[in-house]
């Protein structure tokens, strides 16, 4: 997918099929509709780290293709707000970690202009942040007002049963089988946030491919030392 004039790539796992939508079905359905060209203003997605905000933004862009653009503001903030120029021509604009530029006058002014251009043209804007629109430290009143019009969806941390289901879904997407007992073993002996668990699954995937082994508890114990 062509993305701005910057070396940005979407993660290969960040697609709708590898996202556990339990509890967030309405949001996922909305994003899928936006990605296929539905006319809607977009939404604000918020929640703690590792709850899937970036995954969903990238999944929407993956499905929308060149009609969309994914903008990781945590990464791009040092480059200045000029990177936003011309983005309003896309049908779907996904801004990740907007709180990273909140309070910066130049960034907020540029974001306000982008919001106006996108929403007034009937295109879609999806924003992700760690907090709700009211809690986000945006200082420009007009920008606050614009962003507050977006429907807000909160993503919550998964419980243990959902963590296992999410790991197994990701494993199947990679062509792996992750048995229940192995998944429970991973949860009981490692950090339980999904970013860490997914990183561990990536490592096990690589080692299983090298060793031509299945993801059994003895193999996982061997890899983890």
Residues 109-155 have pLDDT tens digits of: 999 999 999 999 999 999 999 999 999 999 999 999 999 999 999 99
- 96 close to 68: Cβ distance less than 8 angstroms: no
pLDDT recorded at residue 7: 43
Domain ranges, ordered by start, for the chain? 16-154, 160-224
Q: What is the pLDDT of residues 176-201, one digit of tens each?
A: 999 999 999 999 988 888 989 999 99
For the record, the structure tokens of 37 come out as 């060209």
| Domain 16-154 matches domain 160-224 at the CATH topology level | no
Average pLDDT over residues 91-108: 98
pLDDT at 8 over 70: no
- 17 close to 59: Cβ distance less than 8 angstroms: no
d(CA 50, CA 128): 12
Q: Which of 72, 66, 57, 71 lies closest to 27 in space, CA to CA?
A: 57
Give the CATH fold of the 16-154 domain: Rossmann fold (3.40.50)
pLDDT recorded at residue 4: 43
The pTM is what?
Answer: 0.90
Per-residue pLDDT band for 216 (boundaries 50, 70, 90) equals: very high
Residue 17 to residues 14, 59, 129, 200: CA-CA distances in angstroms? 8, 9, 23, 20
CATH second-level architecture of 160-224?
Orthogonal Bundle (1.10)
Locus of tokens 């007034």: 120
């Amino acid at each position: 997918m062509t993305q701005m004039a910057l070396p940005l790539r979407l993660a290969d796992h960040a697609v709708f099929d590898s996202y556990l939508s339990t509890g967030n079905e309405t949001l996922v359905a909305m994003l899928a509709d936006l990605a296929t060209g539905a006319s809607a203003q977009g939404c604000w997605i918020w929640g703690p780290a590792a709850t899937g905000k970036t995954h969903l933004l990238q999944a929407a862009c993956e499905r929308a293709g060149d009609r969309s653009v994914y903008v990781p503001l945590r990464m791009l903030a040092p480059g200045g707000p000029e990177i936003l120029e011309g983005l309003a021509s896309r049908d779907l604009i996904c801004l990740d970690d907007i709180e990273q530029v909140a309070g910066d006058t130049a960034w907020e002014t540029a974001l306000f202009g982008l919001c106006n251009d996108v929403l007034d043209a009937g295109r879609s804007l999806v924003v992700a942040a760690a907090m709700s629109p009211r809690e986000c430290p945006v200082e420009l009143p007009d920008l606050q007002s614009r962003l507050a019009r977006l429907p807000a969806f909160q993503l919550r941390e998964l419980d243990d049963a959902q963590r296992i289901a999410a790991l197994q879904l990701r494993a199947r997407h990679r062509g792996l089988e992750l048995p229940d007992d192995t998944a429970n073993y991973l949860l009981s002996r490692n950090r339980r946030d999904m970013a860490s668990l997914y990183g561990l699954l990536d490592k096990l995937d690589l080692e299983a491919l090298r060793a031509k082994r299945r993801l059994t508890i003895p193999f996982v114990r061997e890899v983890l030392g």
